[in-house]
Amino acid sequence: MSFQTELQNVVSQVDGAVACSVMGFDGITVETVQANEQTSGELELSTTWVEFANILTQLKNAAQVLKTGGVNEVSIHAENVVTLMRLVSPEYFLVLALKPDGNFGRGRFALRVAAPKVKAEL
């Protein structure tokens, strides 16, 4: 199955969305949809996301020893990009990159809606 439709939905409904992907915790991107606007050169998203996937893996492992319960969602606000990650399954997660002035609340909502749909296709 293709996740293209779900990812396209997320990107098109969130103001300031740069790209949305399904990624594995091994750092490999399963599928990506980029916004139409010219963004290449500004950010090396793939490198960034591999790094962030690594962080998310650590959080997932930390949650097993801490009493926080499972980690569902992580957001990282950097100067040039806001990154939202949402767990889909123990192996996969959704990641959405937004411009710093993008609609963060809407992005969270869109990922929350998309996650079960993507999970159903895995």
Residues within the interface to a copy of itself (CB under 8 A)? 42-44, 47-48, 51-52, 55, 58-59, 62-63, 66-81, 83, 105
Pick 10 or 53: Cβ nearer a copy of itself: 53
CA dist 92 and 22 (Å) reads 7
Tokens of 6: 């779900």
Rounded least distance, CB 10 to a copy of itself, Å:
18
CA dist 92 and 110 (Å) reads 17
Report the amino acid identity of residue 24. G
Rounded least distance, CB 102 to a copy of itself, Å:
14
Pick 78 or 120: Cβ nearer a copy of itself: 78
Report the amino acid identity of residue 44. E
Rounded least distance, CB 90 to a copy of itself, Å:
14
Pick 5 or 25: Cβ nearer a copy of itself: 25
| Centroid of chain to Cα 99 | 13
Q: For the chain, what is the radius of gyration of the CA atoms?
A: 13
